[in-house]
Structure 1
Amino acid sequence: MNKEQLAKEIYDVSNIRGEFLLRSGITATEYFDKYLFEANPRILRSIAQHLSSLLPEDYDQLAGLEMGGIPIATAISLATDSPVLFVRKEAKTYGTCKLAEGGDIQGKELVIIEDVVTSGGAIIEAVKELRERGALVNNVLCVIDREGSGRANLEALGLEFSPLFTKSELERAVEL
């Protein structure tokens, strides 16, 4: 499916109205329920194909953030044959005590994969933790940029931020 069709499908499937408290602490009247587009194999496959074109030339592993970034990172991994890591919100306190499951991160160039970004708070926390553990993190891909403070916050950390769609782009797609 082309990018314009994908934008319309994501909006139609996942945009809901009401009152929602976002992770950033902001209350919104519009919400993108990412699990609704991530659970649809046709849409998820198309997201992975389009996000694959935004990957940097050089990287070692994809890093899907818990929980919404994991299915997207897995789909991109399948589309590109790239290794994928599953990044927890916090390291386990038992067993291996890992923050990132699926491989070694020491000295590895990771590309963070996330679903929806408003302020970038979850990404910022994950990047700091991953860097403290020796990972190299310079790029972030996401499906939807809600056009909050996320871009500025991520770029302030030296991260290149590449959303597949902005909220405005999704809204324009349904108007067509």
Structure 2
Amino acid sequence: MDKRALAQALMDCGCIKVGHYKLTSGGFSPYYIDLRMVPSFPQLFREVVRAYLILLRKERVEFERVLGVPTAGIPLGVLVAHELGKPFLYLRMESKTHGTERLLEGELREGERVLLVDDVATTGGSLKRAVQVVRGEGGRVEAAAVLVDREQGAKELLKREGVKLLSVMTAREIFQELYTCKKITEKEYGEIMGYIEGRENV
């Protein structure tokens, strides 16, 4: 499935919405991407995981373990790790108050390289937190893979941490494809592109 078909499939399944949405940062966006719905559509789920695998082969990323960033990155990371035959780790949203009280679940050995997997990168805060946790446990992080980069600072933030952000698609590419295949109107396209370009210049 190419980028155009994938963008269309995501919109058809309700994973991409156009409108007026409040973000966790408190701001507003003319679109919303919710990839937590992807596992509810088995064929789409397979295609999304396949897109990650193609990206990783293309970029020739080397790593020993895969870590899923909560929450949407966990099911994606599980299948990516399974397909590659790599051990899987995941982060908790907050540390347990019993047992080991760890944020990181799974075995990680000193010096091992860990690939972070998440669904969407926005400002990069969740990914940076994952980098810090892994490094705090003795692991190394050189790359993070997402399906969509919203182009709102994550790439630059991670670069400062010495981590390369890899994305299957950018928000710009998604909406260019959706406009080309008439899934969104010219007005919606203009508003979204203006928003993306405006965020780049913030």
Regarding TM over 0.5, the answer is: yes
SS in structure 1 at match of 2:81 = helix
**Structure 2: distance between partners of 1:143 and 1:38:** 14
2:155 maps to which of 151, 155, 162: 151
Looking at CA atoms only, which structure, 1 or 2, has the larger radius of gyration? 2
CA 1:102–1:133 in 2, change beyond 3 Å: closer, same or farther? closer
User: Which residue of structure 1 aligns with residue 6 of structure 2?
Assistant: 6
- The alpha carbon displacement at 1:105 in A equals 4.5
Q: Give the TM-score normalised by structure 2.
A: 0.80
CA deviations on 1:7-59 (whole Å, 9 max, x unpaired) are 22123321123443323443223111112223211111111112112224421
Unmatched tracts of structure 2, length 5 or more:
182-202
Greater helix share, structure number: 2
Within a 5 Å distance, the mapping from 1:21-100 to structure 2 comes to 21-55=22-56, 56-100=60-104
How many percent of aligned residue pairs carry the same amino acid?
27
Within a 5 Å distance, the mapping from 1:114-133 to structure 2 comes to 114-133=118-137
Q: Give the TM-score normalised by structure 1.
A: 0.90
**Structure 2: distance between partners of 1:4 and 1:63:** 28
**Structure 2: distance between partners of 1:125 and 1:25:** 20
**Structure 1: distance between partners of 2:41 and 2:69:** 19
What do you get for the CA RMSD once the two structures are aligned?
1.7
Structure with larger RCO (C-alpha < 8 A, sep 6+): 1
For the pair 1:164 / 2:168, whether they are aligned, the reply is yes
Aligned amino acid, residue 80 of structure 1: L
**Structure 1: distance between partners of 2:12 and 2:66:** 28
**Structure 2: distance between partners of 1:62 and 1:41:** 21
Q: Is the 8 A contact 2:4 2:177 kept in 1?
A: yes
**Structure 2: distance between partners of 1:118 and 1:149:** 7
CA 1:17–1:173 in 2, change beyond 3 Å: closer, same or farther? closer
SS in structure 1 at match of 2:55 = coil
Name which of structure 1's ranges 90-99 and 58-67 shifts more when overlaid on structure 2: 90-99
SS in structure 1 at match of 2:21 = strand
**Structure 2: distance between partners of 1:115 and 1:57:** 18
Q: Is the 8 A contact 1:89 1:126 kept in 2?
A: no
Unmatched tracts of structure 1, length 5 or more:
none
**Structure 2: distance between partners of 1:106 and 1:26:** 40
The total of aligned residue pairs comes to: 176
CA deviations on 1:81-131 (whole Å, 9 max, x unpaired) are 222111123322211222221222532210000111110111111211221
**Structure 2: distance between partners of 1:21 and 1:58:** 37
User: Which residue of structure 1 aligns with residue 17 of structure 2?
Assistant: 16
**Structure 1: distance between partners of 2:154 and 2:95:** 24
